[in-house]
Amino acid sequence: MRQSQLFTKTRKEAPADEAAKNAQLLIRAGYIAKEMAGVYSYLPLGLRVVEKIKQIVREEMNAIAGQELIMTALQRKELWESTGRWDDEVVDVWFKSSLKAGGEVGFGWSHEEPIGEMMKGYISSYKDLPISVYQFQTKLRNEMRAKSGVMRGREFVMKDMYSFCADEESHLTYYESTKPAYMKVFERLGIGDDTFVTFAAGGAFTKFSHEFQTICEAGEDITYINKEKGIAINEEVLNDETLESLGITREELTETKTAEVGNIFNFGQQKAEDLGLMVKNKDGESIPVWMGSYGIGITRLVGVLVEKFADEKGIVWPEAVAPFKVHLVGLNSDDAEVKDFTDGIYLSLKEKGVEVLYDDRDLRAGEKFADSDLIGLPYRIVVSRKTKEEGKFEVVTRASGEVRLLTEEELYNDFDNDSNT
């Protein structure tokens, strides 16, 4: 993409009311626009990041037999009343509205109830199970605090998955299979080493639920971690009983600020019992389905990645989610020959399938480099009059600052889409 055609511009300043580093940088670099507190639009660059994260999650959910669908944002009051969760005293994040034709609707903050209800139309026998379905949905939540930028939105994208099983064994097997699947997602995003399966407050069925907590200064959670033993405990369940049951002492754990990037809940049969989601088992008896729910905060992850990897110059994207792999920065573009030469490099890289953002704007080198640092693409290739004359391309790795000088041939070999640089 040619940067001259990108409608977003970088900015020196973030909005004065934006306190979070992630949102400040994302706004300044042109990834997102702030509509109001906790509500952000995703602009072309930001959308590419979101789509890349979604694709990684999609691949890993498909690998554990997840089937993708998309539920509605508007939800029926009566359904949530049937499980006792319409009441604002019970669920404190509801956005609600009323229909002109009469009656109330809720804006989806979660989809456990609607999906369970919908499944009644498709599941009747143990032979229909197991099933796992997931979606990427914009959730609407009337969050009290919205000071963490995109890490806590009032409107945000979540991947939520729901499993339905006919017996405890297959249910527990599925539940366990989501842990390595989730860890694969976080590894692919470059935060695997800093993300821990964490014991947290339980669902209906089990003593603990499991959260995926990533070490992050800007996170809102406190997690007690022992890296060597791979044990992590949310402060909300840190007590003598928990420590004893996990065979660890308080002294072995380090208090750490973390962000919850995902969580998994085991409902047992409770949720289906509440909803009346029943199947016939092998003996012909009607039993409530075993259910689990599995969330990942897609847009929260955007914020976590910015918070963790940014430096004083701007954003530093992990390659797996960067909107483009290469920032091609053309200098001396007032010289038509240099400009033509640089255009040629752009087209060749594109032809090789490399994702390139081409800064073809007529600006000073200093401004271009500052923008490039702010936007944070993994590699910067600088092309100038000197490059054209000497045949050497300067390639800068954003994360390490490493500078290499490559010939044109080396450049194409290096950025061939199949290679792993």
Q: Does the protein bind ligand ATP through residue 262 (CB under 6 A)? A: yes
Q: Does 143 bind ligand ATP (CB under 6 A)?
A: yes
Query: Of residues 263, 269, 372, 384, which one binds ligand ATP by CB under 6 A?
Result: 263
Interface with ligand ATP (CB under 6 A), residue from 188, 210, 300, 398: 300
Residue 152 interacts with ligand ATP (CB under 6 A): yes or no: yes
Task: Choose between 309 and 412: whose C-beta lies nearer to ligand ATP.
Answer: 309
Compute the least distance from the CB of residue 117 to ligand ATP, in Å: 19
107/156 with CB nearer ligand ATP: 156
Region 77-136 residues binding ligand ATP, contact defined as CB under 6 A: 110
Residues 154-173 that bind ligand ATP (CB under 6 A): 156, 158
Residue of 192, 226, 197 lying closest to 210 (CA atoms): 197
Do the strands 95-98 and 32-36 form a parallel or antiparallel pair, or are they unpaired?
unpaired
Least distance between ligand ATP and beta carbon 95 (Å): 12
Q: Which residues contact 68 (CB under 8 A, 6 or more apart)?
A: 58, 61, 62, 133, 134, 135, 136
Please choose, from the candidates 398, 394, 397, 386, the residue with its C-alpha nearest in 3D space to the C-alpha of residue 411. Answer: 394
Sign (positive or negative) of CA dihedral 339, 345, 347, 350: negative
Q: What's the closest the beta carbon of residue 399 comes to ligand ATP, in angstroms?
A: 24
> Which residue, 297 or 314, has its beta carbon nearer to ligand ATP?
297
Taking the complex as a whole, the smallest distance from the CB of residue 313 to ligand ATP amounts, in Å, to 26
Q: Which is nearer to ligand ATP, 108 or 297 (CB)?
A: 297
Instruction: Pick the closer one to ligand ATP by CB: 183 or 278.
Output: 183
Q: Does 299 bind ligand ATP (CB under 6 A)?
A: yes
Q: Which is nearer to ligand ATP, 219 or 378 (CB)?
A: 219
For β-strands 286-288 and 231-234, DSSP reports them as: unpaired
Burial of 193 (0-12, 13-18, 19+ CB in 10 A): exposed
Q: Which of 46, 203, 292, 297 binds ligand ATP (CB under 6 A)?
A: 297
Q: How far is CA 89 from CA 16, 84, 175, 293, in A?
A: 34, 10, 30, 23
Q: Which is nearer to ligand ATP, 52 or 159 (CB)?
A: 159
Sole binder of ligand ATP in the list 46, 203, 268, 295 (CB under 6 A): 295
β-pair type (290-297, 155-165): antiparallel
Q: Considering only CA atoms, which of 317, 321, 331 is closest in space to residue 398?
A: 317
Q: Is 393 in the site for ligand ATP (CB under 6 A)?
A: no
Q: Can residue 398 be called a binding residue for ligand ATP (CB under 6 A)?
A: no
Q: By CB under 6 A, tell whether 203 contacts ligand ATP.
A: no
- Please give the residues from 241 up to 260 whose contact with ligand ATP meets the rule CB under 6 A: 260
User: Contacts with ligand ATP in 8-67 (CB under 6 A)?
Assistant: none
Which of 165, 261, 356, 375 is the binder for ligand ATP (CB under 6 A)?
Answer: 261
Q: Return the range that interacts with ligand ATP (CB under 6 A); candidates 24-32, 153-161, 343-351, 386-394.
A: 153-161
Instruction: Give the nearest residue (CB) to ligand ATP.
Output: 297
Q: Which residues bind ligand ATP (CB under 6 A)?
A: 110, 141, 143, 152-153, 156, 158, 260-263, 295, 297, 299-300
